[in-house]
A and B are shown apart, each in its own frame.
Chain A
Amino acid sequence: MAEITYREALNRAMDEEMARDAKVFILGEEVGEYDGAYKVSKGLLSKYGPGRVKDTPISELGFTGLGVGAALAGLRPIVEWMTHNFALLAIDQVVNNAAKMRQMSGGQLKVPIVFRGPNGPAEYLASQHSQAFASYWAHVPGLKVIAPATPADAYGLLKSAIRDDNPVVVLESEMMYAWKDEVPDEEFLVPIGKARVAKEGKDLTLVTFSKPIKIVIEAAAALVAKGVDAEVIDLRSIRPLDEGAVYDSVRKTGRCIVVDESWPVASVGSHVAWLVSKHCFDTLDAQVELVSGEDVPMPYNHALEIAAQPSVEKILAAARRVLYREDL
């Protein structure tokens, strides 16, 4: 088993799927000659040629919609957005064309397409380049949304996404591309719609997805040092959402903190918190807490941007509230 980066895991997934199926092709800004803005598509142009690794103009609306058309016409495109920030220019194509076309035509067709790229706050990029859009996609019926948080999940989930006959949005992160972990050498797939127990525990459930997994694991370790055994659920898929895995954990622990780096209003985190409040009402020993990004556009200054995001300290503060323990 080799230790590879999140970036290499995504690359391996696309490489294997392109080798397996000639209908798979990649398009986006700088995916070819430049090997990808974040080098995720490194080497694919030389291996598969410009017919299947297509550099596009700076034209998110255009090439995203083009991908949808190619999917309707029988191909399996992977659309790379340099970041989800720029995907806002293409959101109509995803919502009105990709997500609805099958249902509004009475199931006459399928739309096998992957939209992927980094999402969520990076560093020193300020408000237009540092924002978390999970809920924008999660809101839309007809889309699947995945948020792998480890190299193994990045590999296995992206492969499942490429083979899926429906539109799948993949949330990655600039900050995660260099994360390293073991990924089995043999081929495998991670099914879309299954959460992962990242750490078992009995006193408190921490639910998160994507990049915040790092601070959640750190917070869990800090709690262990104080005698509190938290369970960590990594959702991995946001749509479909593995509600059962969350409820199983909360029914065991009786307490729940949801951590989501998005803004707090109408977010994936607030939705999960509502679901838990509704479905685990009888077993909860405290209110469900949401640790989110602050409700402001991301500032540039580093101290300010850190202050605007979830942190270990904010999670520990929430833990004090749900455990009714000021000493933590």
Chain B
Amino acid sequence: MPFQKREFPNAFANLPKEKALALLETMVRIRAFESRVEELFLNRKIPGFVHLYIGEEAIASGVMAHLNKDDSITSTHRGHGHAIAKGARIDRMMAELYGKKTGYCKGKGGSMHIADFSVGMLGANGVVGGGYNIAVGAGISARIKKTDQVAVCFFGDGASNRGTFHEALNLAAVWKLPVLFVNENNQWASTTPTSFATSAVHIADRAKGYGIEGYTVDGNNVIEVYNAASALIEAARKGKGPAILECLTYRIKGHYVGDPERYRTKEEVQKHFTENDPIIRFSAYLKEKGMLDDAGLEAMKAAAVREVAAGEKFAEDSPYPDKEEALDDLFSFSPKEFPEVVR
């Protein structure tokens, strides 16, 4: 079924070469991180649940390029790519996956909760659909503080069936809050295809029910994502209210690392990977435009691999937290600025 198309202004065309290359670099860095994380998990270096972002890199890269450090995002269980694109450090992320003291969450969050609050991440939520309301709260915070900050909520196609979606979208719409809901429609909600679990043909169609705009783009084409996010984030910043941006993509890896994937064929996955890899597509485009050559691409990939390797070493070399730290960080003990009167 055709989806709601809109020709967004070609903001990408105005990008200087280094910024265009930076979009690719973010994607390449995410890919390098995730590929190594997969190996490390299979080598039993990383425990727990790990959900990989491989194949979806264009979305985080194309959206985050429009955000300032003080704009916020809410991330998901498949959130490593969001963290990297928002500016989190790869070494501290890797340390978190190892459960080390130097990780962003001091080893208390792990893969599903990696977040660097200092770059505007308001957490990564392991509960599907857990981030919507937090993003809307960040939106109302911008309104009350009278700033032009925006909040971006990343969510999957499966998460769009949660009740949290409805209440958050309605609140954001009725108060015209500066929130962009970015749907990463990777065709699979855990082990079920979108068509099995989701009544709408396109997640963006649901925008109509909230009286807001909703558009569907090719989420594996970073230029399309970049242009759509540019227009919608700018509109949100100017007080025009929220929107849904649905980015069609495909989950190349299993739901989690180790998923036997009995629900789909290897051929289906391979077809998507070879024909629709966002990194191959975008680097081909840049080469065609004369902004990148083979050597440049290889150098970019090699630098990303080196960065990840350094991050891995940092994680390996870092200490584990002391057992006593299990009880830390529960409450904030700010110095009291007021006297307590015991009555």
Residues of chain A whose beta carbon lies under 8 Å from any beta carbon of chain B:
25, 51-52, 54, 56-57, 59, 61-75, 77, 92-93, 96-97, 101-112, 141-142, 144, 152-153, 156, 160, 163, 165-166, 188-191, 194, 196
Residues of B with C-beta under 8 A to A166: 331-332
Given A107, A190, A191, which contacts B106 in the complex, CB threshold below 8 Å?
A107
Least CB distance from B321 to A in Å reads 9
Can you list 18 pairs linking A and B with CB atoms under 8 Å apart?
A57-B174, A61-B164, A63-B171, A65-B133, A66-B140, A69-B122, A69-B141, A70-B144, A72-B117, A73-B138, A73-B151, A92-B127, A103-B330, A105-B115, A110-B334, A112-B332, A156-B341, A189-B338
B329 close to A (CB within 8 Å): yes
Given A59, A63, A102, A188, which contacts B332 in the complex, CB threshold below 8 Å?
A102
A156 (CB) vs chain B CBs: closest residue: B343
Least CB distance from B28 to A in Å reads 27
A65-B133, A73-B141 known, 15 other contacts, Cβ within 8 Å: A51-B143, A51-B144, A62-B166, A63-B167, A66-B171, A68-B137, A69-B140, A70-B140, A102-B331, A103-B330, A106-B105, A107-B328, A165-B331, A190-B340, A191-B341
Q: Are B342 and A72 in contact (CB under 8 A)?
A: no
Residues of B with C-beta under 8 A to A152: 343
Given A105-B113, A190-B341: A62 and B108 within 8 A (CB)? no
Least CB distance from A102 to B in Å reads 6
Q: Which of B287-326 contact A (CB under 8 A)?
A: none
What's the Cα separation between A69 and B142 when bound, in Å?
11
Q: Are B137 and A69 in contact (CB under 8 A)?
A: yes
Q: Which of B102-119 contact A (CB under 8 A)?
A: 103-109, 113, 115-118
Residues of A with C-beta under 8 A to B133: 61-62, 64-66, 68-69, 93, 97
Q: Are A104 and B145 in contact (CB under 8 A)?
A: no
Given A61-B164, A65-B133, A93-B133: A142 and B141 within 8 A (CB)? no
Q: Are A97 and B130 in contact (CB under 8 A)?
A: yes
Q: Are A106 and B106 in contact (CB under 8 A)?
A: yes
Q: Are B117 and A104 in contact (CB under 8 A)?
A: no
Residues of chain B whose beta carbon lies under 8 Å from any beta carbon of chain A:
72, 74, 103-109, 113, 115-118, 122-123, 125, 127, 130, 132-145, 151, 163-164, 166-168, 170-171, 174, 328-334, 337-343
Q: Are A74 and B141 in contact (CB under 8 A)?
A: yes
A192 (CB) vs chain B CBs: closest residue: B340
Given A65-B164, A106-B106, A142-B331: A72 and B118 within 8 A (CB)? no
Residues of A with C-beta under 8 A to B333: 165
Least CB distance from B228 to A in Å reads 24
Q: Are A108 and B141 in contact (CB under 8 A)?
A: no
Q: Are B144 and A62 in contact (CB under 8 A)?
A: no
B140 (CB) vs chain A CBs: closest residue: A70
Q: Which 10 A-B pairs have the closest CB atoms?
A: A69-B137, A65-B133, A62-B167, A106-B106, A107-B329, A73-B141, A69-B134, A106-B105, A165-B332, A110-B332
Count CB-based A-B contacts (< 8 Å): 171
Given A62-B168, A72-B137: A191 and B342 within 8 A (CB)? yes
B328 (CB) vs chain A CBs: closest residue: A107
Q: Are B134 and A68 in contact (CB under 8 A)?
A: yes
What's the Cα separation between A61 and B136 when bound, in Å?
12
Given A104-B108, A110-B332: A73 and B122 within 8 A (CB)? yes
Residues of A with C-beta under 8 A to B127: 92, 96
Q: Are B334 and A165 in contact (CB under 8 A)?
A: yes
Given A61, A77, A141, A165, which contacts B163 in the complex, CB threshold below 8 Å?
A61
What's the Cα separation between A163 and B328 when bound, in Å?
21
Q: Are B140 and A104 in contact (CB under 8 A)?
A: no
Residues of B with C-beta under 8 A to A96: 125, 127, 130
Residues of B with C-beta under 8 A to A105: 104-105, 108-109, 113, 115, 117, 123
Q: Are B163 and A70 in contact (CB under 8 A)?
A: no
B167 (CB) vs chain A CBs: closest residue: A62
A112 (CB) vs chain B CBs: closest residue: B332
Least CB distance from B242 to A in Å reads 13
Least CB distance from B16 to A in Å reads 32
Q: Are A189 and B108 in contact (CB under 8 A)?
A: no
What's the Cα separation between A274 and B104 when bound, in Å?
38
Least CB distance from B90 to A in Å reads 17
What's the Cα separation between A72 and B142 when bound, in Å?
12
Residues of B with C-beta under 8 A to A56: 171
What's the Cα separation between A152 and B107 when bound, in Å?
43
Residues of B with C-beta under 8 A to A163: 337-338
